[in-house]
Amino acid sequence: MKIDLHIHTKTCSDGNLSIEEVFQEAKGRNIDLMSITDHDSIDCQERAMALAKEYGIFYITGVELNVTFQYPGSKSVSLDFLGYQ
């Protein structure tokens, strides 16, 4: 089983491919299970679920959350978290 659970789109984030192109590419690479994890956005999830059905790919909703914090007098720290449902 081929799986990719960290994908960005140019439709809703900073990826290079549109959401439709992502699914075309996934189908061409025989991906069985995938998740689009655009930065701080779930705007593409409904479309992704519809395309997953169309392309016959199992799909998990996802998001990449970027969190930046700073303690007084120290450098800021940025963390990336991947969340799935």
Shortest CA distance to 6 belongs to which of 63, 48, 65?
A: 63
> Average pLDDT in the 5-29 region?
96
Q: Which residues pair with 45 in a beta bridge?
A: none
d(CA 42, CA 29): 24
Residues 47 and 22: beta-carbon distance below 8 Å = no
Domains of the chain are 3-84 (3.20.20.140)
> 76: pLDDT confidence band, cut at 50, 70 and 90?
very high
For the stretch 29-70, pLDDT in tens is: 999 999 999 999 999 999 999 999 999 999 999 999 999 999
